[in-house]
Structure 1
Amino acid sequence: MKTATANIDLNALAHNLSVIKYKAENSKVLAVLKANAYGHGLARIAKALSQYKVQADAFGVARIDEALELRSEGVSKPIVLLEGFFSELDLPVLAVNNLQTVVHNREQLNAILDAELTEPLKIWLKVDTGMHRLGVNAEEFDEFYHALNQSENVHKDIIIMSHFSCADDLTSERTNAQLRVFSSITKSLPNEKTLANSAAICAWPESHYDWIRPGLMLYGVSPMQNADRDDLAIQPVMNLQSSVIAIRQIKKNEAVGYGAAWVAKEDTTIGVIAIGYGDGYPRHAQNGTPVLLNGRIVPLVGRVSMDMITVDLGNSCQDKIGDIATLWGQGLPVEEVAKHSTTIPYELLCNITRRVHMGIL
C-alpha cells in the first residue's frame, strides 16, 4: 500500500503546451508557475518546459524567492515577477539575477527611477483596463510609460500588459470592454503586448497579441465556465492517488465518521482511503464527491478527516485493501471534485501539503 501520492505526468504537460501553442501560434508563451507551479513542483515544471521540442519562452512567478529558487536550480530562461517587487532593496537582486519585473504602482516607478543599478531592468508595465486590482490607471499610463522609457535603469523594450476579469464567461461584456480600453491605450505604441490568460487563449483570439500567459490550462484544467473540457484537448498533469486501507460492512441506518454526518440507507460496504485534509484533500468535500476506484466512480460519504476519507463501495464490490484510488487526475478531472467542495481547482492543486509524495510519470 502507498500513502497519498501526486504523480506528475510530464508527457501531459508537454501535450498541453503544444495545444496552447497551436491555439496561439504567433504568440510567445509566458508559463505561469506561481504557488509551486500550482502545486506541481516549481523547478520540476520549469525544467520540463525548458527541455521540450516546444518550449515556454519565459516563466511568471509571484514572489522573488520563487524566481531565485529557479535560478539556483539552473533555470536560465527569462523570469518575470508578476506582482512586481515589494521593496527597493530587491532591485539590485533583480539586476544581478537577470530577473524581470511588472510595474503596477507609483512606488515601484519611483524606486526604479531613483535606483543605482549596474544593469538596466526589463519591465512589464501593467495597466488597469477594468480588473481594478493591480495596474496603473489609464490616465497615468503615458506618464509611467515615458518615465520608464527615458530611464537608464530600464531596457527600452518595455512590454505592456493587462489582465482580464471575466474571460472565462462568454456571456459577459466585460472582456470586450477591456479589449477596447487596452487597444486605445496601446495601439500607437510599437512595444510587445500581453493580455491573454488561459481562458482568453481558448476563447478570445483577438487578445493573443505578442505574449500569452497560460496558467491553469497548462496543468490540464479547464479555465472556462460551462464548457466541455474535452473540446480543449488538454490532459490532467497531476494524478492524486492513495490506497484503500480498510473495508468494512455497514448495516442500514448505521452512521460513518465524525458527527455521524452520513447514515447508510441500506446495507453496504465502506472503503477507507488514506488521504485527508492533512494532505490537502478538501475538508468541505460533500457527500457524493466522486472518487475513482477500479474503473468506476464511488461516492465520498461522511466527513473528511485529517488522514482519511470513506467511500461507499456498494453491496457487491470486489475491491480489496491495497487498491489504488484516484482523487483527481486521469479519468476524474479536478474540476469535478472542486464543484462538490464549494471551491475552485486552483485551491485544490495549490493546497497539496508536504507530506504528499511527489512522483513522476
Structure 2
Amino acid sequence: MPPVNAPYRPEGLTARPLHARVDPDAVAHNLARLRKALPASGAAPRLWATVKADAYGHGVRRILPALRGADGLAVLHLDEARACRRMGWQGPVLVYGGLYSPADALLLDASGLHLVITHAAQLEWLAQAPLSQRPAVWLRYAGDIHHTGFAAQAYRAAYEAASAMSRRGLIGEVGHLNHYARADEPGGVDGADALFRDVIAGLPGPVSTSNSAALLKHGARAADTQWVRPGLALYGASPFADTSAAQLELRPAMSLHSQLVGIQRVPAGAGVGYGGAFTVQQAMDVGIVTCGYADGYPRHAPTGTPVIVDGVRTRLLGRVSMDMMAVDLGPVPHACIGAPVTLWGAGGLAVEEVAASAGTIAADLLTGLSARVPVQLADAH
C-alpha cells in the first residue's frame, strides 16, 4: 500500500482536493506594472481594465477591489456592464460587443456606458431607440484583424453619421478604436497603426488602441492614444511566446492546485491512460491527480506537459481524462497519496507554459476553468 499523507483542507472547500486560488493583490500589482508601460511624456493614456469572460475566469466580483486604480472597465456585452454596476463600479464601462439587436438599446439605462460600434445598423438602432442615457460610441476600424468594424472606405461615412447623431443629442462623444492582429510580434503594429491613423486623420474624437501585447511591446505607440485596453497581462500571464510573465514583472493572479489521489507501480510495456497513449519503457511509479478536462484542464495536453508534485517539477503522462490525469513520479520518489500538486500559476509553473505545451494560449486555460472547481481568495498581503 502506498504511503498516505492527506493534509487538512481549508474550510469551505469541497471534499475533492482540487481548487483554484485567485490573488487580487497580484491583479493590483499588474495594473500598476501596466501603467508604467505607458508613455512617460505628455498626457498618459487612460486605461480600460478588460474584465470580459468574468475577468478571464478570475471572477469580476473577486478582483474588482483590485481595479480601483483603473480608469474604466471593458466588457463584452451589456449584461456584463450592468453586472459591474450592480457590484458597485461607478466609472466608465466600455462594451466591446456594442448592440446585438435593436432590443439591446433598452438596456442602456445606466450612465457612463461606452459602446463599440462595428456596423451601420447599430447606429440606426440607437437613432430609433428612446434612450434614457446617452452612451458614448467608439467606431471600430476593421484594421488588419478583419473580425468586425468598418473598412477604410466606409469609415468616414460612419463617422459622419455618428457625429450627426451626437450633434442632435442622441449619443455622446464619438471616438475611434482599433485592435491589432499581430501586436505580439516585433514591428507587428507599425503598418496597422499607420493605416489606422491615415483613416482617422482630421476626424475629431478620442482614440483607443493597445491590448496587453501592444502596450508591453509597443508602448511608445500609445503616445497619441487616449485609452488603452489591457486584458491578459492584468491577470499575470505573458502575451508573448518568447518572454515570460516573470521577465515582464507580472504576477500570476490564478493558480490551480490538487493532490495525488493514487499511486500505481506500472510494469514495463504497459500503457497508461485511455488508449495506452503512454507506454512504460521501464517499471515506474505513476501518480494519479484529481483534475481532468471536465475541470477545464486541456484534454489535448500531451505527455511531457509540466506539473509540480510536492514542490518538484515533473510531467504529465498519457491522455487527460474527465476527472483525473497521470503524472511521472520518477523525479519525486518520496511522493505519497495526498502530496500537493500545482497544475499552473505557482511554484514557477506559469499558465502560459502549460498552455504552450498543450498547443493553446493562457487565456484559453484561464477562461476555461470549470464551474465545478472551487475558488478561494489568496490571503491578503
Contact 1:113 1:148 in 2 (8 A): no
CA distance 1:315–1:327, shift in 2 (3 Å): closer
| Correspondence for 1:47 | 65
Please state if 1:358 is matched with 2:375: yes
- CA–CA separation in structure 1 for the residues paired with 2:238 and 2:35: 16
**What's the Cα RMSD here?**
1.7
CA distance 1:278–1:228, shift in 2 (3 Å): closer
| Correspondence for 1:16 | 30
1:336 pairs, out of 350, 353, 366, with 353
| Correspondence for 2:285 | 269
- Residues 286-340 of structure 1: per-residue CA shift (max 9 Å, x gap): 0011001222211101211111111011176111211211100021011111122
How far 1:279 sits from its partner (Å)?
Answer: 0.4
| Correspondence for 1:318 | 334
| Correspondence for 2:3 | none
Please state if 1:183 is matched with 2:201: no
- Taking the TM superposition and a 5 Å limit, the aligned residue runs for 1:227-266 are 227-266=243-282
| Correspondence for 1:5 | 19
Q: Which amino acid aligns with 1:267?
A: A
Please state if 1:127 is matched with 2:151: no
1:164 pairs, out of 169, 176, 180, with 180
Q: Which amino acid aligns with 2:93?
A: I
1:220 pairs, out of 233, 236, 250, with 236
Match of 2:288, SS? strand
CA distance 1:88–1:47, shift in 2 (3 Å): farther
Contact 1:278 1:307 in 2 (8 A): yes
1:37 pairs, out of 52, 55, 64, with 55
Contact 1:258 1:303 in 2 (8 A): yes
Please state if 1:348 is matched with 2:365: yes
| Correspondence for 1:109 | 123
Please state if 1:145 is matched with 2:159: yes
The number of aligned residues is 354
Match of 1:248, SS? strand
How far 1:148 sits from its partner (Å)?
Answer: 1.6
1:28 pairs, out of 42, 46, 59, with 46
- CA–CA separation in structure 2 for the residues paired with 1:40 and 1:169: 27
Please state if 1:287 is matched with 2:303: yes
Contact 2:268 2:282 in 1 (8 A): yes
Contact 1:268 1:315 in 2 (8 A): no
CA distance 1:138–1:206, shift in 2 (3 Å): farther
Larger mean Cα displacement after TM superposition, 315-324 or 124-133? 315-324
- CA–CA separation in structure 1 for the residues paired with 2:183 and 2:113: 28
CA distance 1:315–1:243, shift in 2 (3 Å): closer
How far 1:49 sits from its partner (Å)?
Answer: 0.9
TM-score, structure 2 as length reference: 0.88
Question: Any gaps of 5 or more consecutive residues in structure 1?
Answer: none
Contact 1:47 1:75 in 2 (8 A): no
1:79 pairs, out of 86, 89, 93, with 93
- CA–CA separation in structure 2 for the residues paired with 1:116 and 1:40: 36
How far 1:11 sits from its partner (Å)?
Answer: 1.5
How far 1:235 sits from its partner (Å)?
Answer: 1.2
| Correspondence for 1:305 | 321
Contact 1:84 1:103 in 2 (8 A): yes
TM-score, structure 1 as length reference: 0.93
Contact 2:108 2:131 in 1 (8 A): no
Match of 1:44, SS? helix
How far 1:98 sits from its partner (Å)?
Answer: 4.3
- CA–CA separation in structure 2 for the residues paired with 1:315 and 1:68: 50
How far 1:229 sits from its partner (Å)?
Answer: 3.7
Contact 1:276 1:308 in 2 (8 A): yes
Contact 2:142 2:151 in 1 (8 A): yes
